């Protein structure tokens, strides 16, 4: 069955500059564990308040800022744009040698062209999975399948998907990835995330027949107030970002 990665603290953190209270962090991790969500992405750095749990802890590293990772982490997810692929692969091999599970995360995956580089990479077996991201929330289900098949053709067995919700298609696109056999998919509490937001994890749990009640509790306690303050999700700017397939920071230059 497809696994879930809760990326609330990392991707959702773009909304509030990663200013989550310690109790919110701990109770989000507890909700993740109690709902039997397999992976919990702690952010770009490991919060001090996080302790060991029966969940695999993930740190994201940006390819433009390769850095040491806390030994409290179980996994490293290395995010790269298409032009960064060569040194991203080198860094992944180093993190694997340090004992971490490793994920490669392809941002703006629809713009990636160097599939021969991935196909010929001799060490692709070190990956737990390769992610492809709908970075600007512009994908249709056909795009998900097209890129998934390309990665299969490169010899990757475990393929994962990260959605954004600018066109309100994060759920539909994630279901498509699950139907294709995705190793894992991403979601956040209450869909918290930049631009149009992310796939709400409570909806994904409902779809997969898992217990979502623990997430409802923390939405009531923490995330509803965060939503009232920061108002992520569908709006005109998010819509334009999805339609034009552009980064949220570029949307204001497009709107006239």
Q: How confident is the model at residue 113 (pLDDT cuts 50, 70, 90)?
A: confident
The whole-chain average pLDDT of the chain stands at: 94
Integer Cα distance of 164 and 251 in angstroms? 15
Token duo for residue 148: 């998934």
**Residue that wins the pLDDT comparison between 125 and 251:** 125
How far is residue 22 CA from its own chain's centroid?
22
pLDDT tens digit string along 115-127? 999 999 999 999 9
DSSP code at position 144: H
Q: Please report the pLDDT score of residue 194 as a whole number.
A: 87
DSSP code at position 124: G
pLDDT tens digit string along 10-66? 999 999 999 999 999 999 999 999 999 999 999 999 999 998 778 999 999 999 999
3-254 belongs to CATH 3.20.20.70? yes
Whether the predicted model's global pTM rises above the 0.85 cut: yes
């Amino acid at each position: 069955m497809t696994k879930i990665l809760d990326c609330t603290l990392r991707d959702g953190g773009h909304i509030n500059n990663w200013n989550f209270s310690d109790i919110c962090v701990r109770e989000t991790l507890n909700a993740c564990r109690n709902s039997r969500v397999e992976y919990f992405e702690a952010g770009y750095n490991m919060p001090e308040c996080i302790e060991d749990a029966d969940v695999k802890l993930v740190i994201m590293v940006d390819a433009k800022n390769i850095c040491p990772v806390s030994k409290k982490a179980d996994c490293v997810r290395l995010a790269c744009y298409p032009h960064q692929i060569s040194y991203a692969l080198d860094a992944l091999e180093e993190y694997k040698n340090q004992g971490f599970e490793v994920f490669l995360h392809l941002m703006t995956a629809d713009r990636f062209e160097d599939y021969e580089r991935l196909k010929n990479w001799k060490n692709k077996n070190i990956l737990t999975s390769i992610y492809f991201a709908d970075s600007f929330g512009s994908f249709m289900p056909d795009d998900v399948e097209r890129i998934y098949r390309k990665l299969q053709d490169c010899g990757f067995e475990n393929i994962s998907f990260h959605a954004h919700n600018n066109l309100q298609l994060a759920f539909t696109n994630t279901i498509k990835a699950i139907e294709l056999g995705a190793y894992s998919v991403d979601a956040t509490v209450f869909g918290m995330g930049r631009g149009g937001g992310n796939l709400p994890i409570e909806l994904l749990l409902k779809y997969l027949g898992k217990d979502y009640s623990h997430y409802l509790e923390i939405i009531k306690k923490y995330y509803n107030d965060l939503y009232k303050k920061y108002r992520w999700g569908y709006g005109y700017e998010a819509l334009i970002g999805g339609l034009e397939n552009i980064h949220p920071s570029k949307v204001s230059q497009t709107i006239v």
